[in-house]
Amino acid sequence: MIERRSAAPGTPGDALDAGRIAPRLAALGAPRGDVDPRAQPFMLAVLEDRPFSRPGWLFEIKYDGVRVFASRRGADVELRGRSGQVVTARYPEITAALSALPASRFLVDGEIVALDEEGRSSFQRLQARMGLSAPRDVERAMSEVPVTAIFFDCLALEGHDLRRLPLSERKACLQLVVPLLGAVRYGDHVEERGEAFFAAASERRLEGIVAKKAAGAYTGERSRDWIKIKCHLRQEFVIGGYTDPQGSRGYFGALHLGVYENGRLGYVSKVGTGFDEAALKRLWTALEPLARSTSPFSSRSPMGRGHHWVEPRLVCEVRFSDWTRDGGIRHPAFEGLRADKRAEECRREPTSPAEGALRGSRPASKDLHGNEVSQPEDSRPKRASRSVRPEGLRAGARARQHRERDDVAARMDSAAPEVVQRTVTVTNAQKIFWPAEGYTKGDLIDYYRRIAPALLPYLRDRPLVLTRYPDGIGGKSFFQHDAPAFAPSWIRTARIYSSESRRDIEYFVVDGADALAYVANLGAIPLHVWASRLGSVDRPDWLVLDLDPKGAPFADVVRVAQALRQILGRLELPSHVKTSGATGLHVLVPLGARYSYEEARSFGRLLALLGVEALPEISTVARPIRSRGGKVYIDFGQNGQGLTVVAPYSVRPLPGAPVSCPLRWNEVNAELDPSRFTIETVPDRVRRVADPLLPVLSAAVDMTAAIERIEKRLR
């Protein structure tokens, strides 16, 4: 176990610790000498793709921040980053805390981080501090984005050079100087139990862990004495260009990324997700002065129109799910610029010795959901890493999930590894949810269990928004975007940044029947899903046109739906239809995650206008009800990131317990009655009728060709 010492939160240490420093150094026989941070390289870790447990190894949290050497010589304190840049003035609270430590001379290694509400390091949050230099800006940002420095190694202390001492001894010295809590903190660890520690890190949505050989010296190089294992892959890339913006997005569409190999910059991929409007503007401002006429990439550079090139000087961090066989990356998401790393240092980080030699030949494995992951499926936890942003995060899957709570950095609780029991205790099963019909909460949960095989394909990998009715359809209701803190660990969640609410939202992601039963037990009647999946959160799988009557006869809804089907058919586009579960119909067009939400919305508007052109007497695109004149509203506005549609087979909180039901097109006729599809009738229908909507999950259209056909028609 880790030896702990008492220290009040925020205090640097105590007289006892200060008095123990000199005897400890003498007992260790640490040689006299100073270590110059200007000449000392950082110790770096090798990337591996699976955790391990092993005697003689320590396991630490991997933080998502800015690496620094912190040095003190009397009253002089300095913070120096990996690029060699001195960043002391950016973090006054760290400098002040270092000045109060009970040692007058030291050199320590650690990470400056910005912690979120749950104590996790957030690189996106830290970016608000990284580029500041004006004292007034720094002072304002200190209250808005407080930072913490977590130190995990000690290279020199009170005139002694500790670099050749074992890591365990260096950390023991560090622990005498740096407190457990406060602006400056000791980076704690667990011993031997790396697999349980990794599972705990994944469960708590951390970036990953670092395994370190307890007997290892500080060599100042990338060494297998330090091994990092990420809960999802992440590394730095060089920005070599960008694409034209599409739809309503400004500045640029995607960044072109590369890494150096044998002194040449090779193209890897482009990244078009993870930007909000402010980030787009900041990047554009940084990219404009670097413009050049030719591609900086020596191999695999994109060709054709719409590409713009820049000098390869900017470095960004990108999160992704895996490397491809041809050297690209899957499902990338932008995390932020890295001013602390030089472009020439950006090389592909091998995930194993063999992979490092083969450079991309390692095939991707798949988890139990079919997601591609960067390690065998039996070595990752079932639940998604809850530190995800968007973000777009993928979960590893396994039947057993270990939990560990060794008191690490005051964030991870202690529990022995255990088997995760997926049990849902139904509460208040007899509570009446539909008074007229007498349907209970238990009936709702039973329906969702019975319909799960048909419903889950539409929920899997998608952020889910609940509307909860704890007292049934006659009581109060409320939306729930965030999964509650008390949700069991085996239910998958995904953290995605919302530019509208300006915060991260922790969405449920329902991948199994037990998770479906759990959200139903919360009193969630309708289930609303995103059109996109976690691996491509900015590219929808379908486009939806919501036919909303609001006073128009349902017969007109049927006519408008059939008109849209004919229009789409002439454009050689497939279309699918389902009831909304209320009074309307949803017409869906598969997009195959090929296009952005902006493109989907623009194309949806064009299709809606064509529908109104075909039936102007009964259809409209006017949103205000008073402006519709009793016509069917063709709503294309739900095609946006973060906007949702009621899931197929979802129940609606209306009399009769109706269900949003997929239909065959020949059922969309004058005899169609949406109220016939209920929690009583739909399970039997699913047994008899193959789901006609399933192709919307896998098919795709050529939007460009369709627009060209429309243009020819208008000539």
Annotated catalytic residues are 62
Distance CA 68, CA 488 (A): 37
Q: Where are the alpha helices (DSSP H) in 187-288?
A: 194-203, 277-287
Residue type present at position 185: R
Quick check: helix, strand or coil at residue 584?
Answer: coil
Distance CA 418, CA 24 (A): 39
The size of the chain, in residues, is 715
Distance CA 677, CA 674 (A): 6
- CA 598 from centre of chain: 21
Whose CA is closest to 173, among 43, 20, 67, 37?
20
Residue type present at position 565: R
Q: Where are the alpha helices (DSSP H) in 288-396?
A: 353-358
Other Cβ atoms closer than 10 A to 202:
29
What the block records as the tokens of 655 is 């009399």
Other Cβ atoms closer than 10 A to 676:
15
Residue type present at position 125: R
Q: Where would I find the beta strands (DSSP E) of 158-290?
A: 160-161, 184-186, 190-191, 208-213, 222-230, 233-243, 255-261, 264-271
Phi first, then psi, for residue 579 (nearest 5°) are -75, 150
What the block records as the tokens of 220 is 């100042």
> Three-state secondary structure along 18-56?
HHHHHHHHHHHCCCECCCCCCCCCCCEEEEECCCCCCCC
Distance CA 247, CA 640 (A): 12
Residue that is written with structure tokens 């979960």 in the block: 395
CB 236 within 8 A of CB 317: yes
What the block records as the tokens of 666 is 């020949």
Quick check: helix, strand or coil at residue 696?
Answer: helix
Mention every residue, 6+ apart, whose C-beta is less than 8 A from residue 294: 309
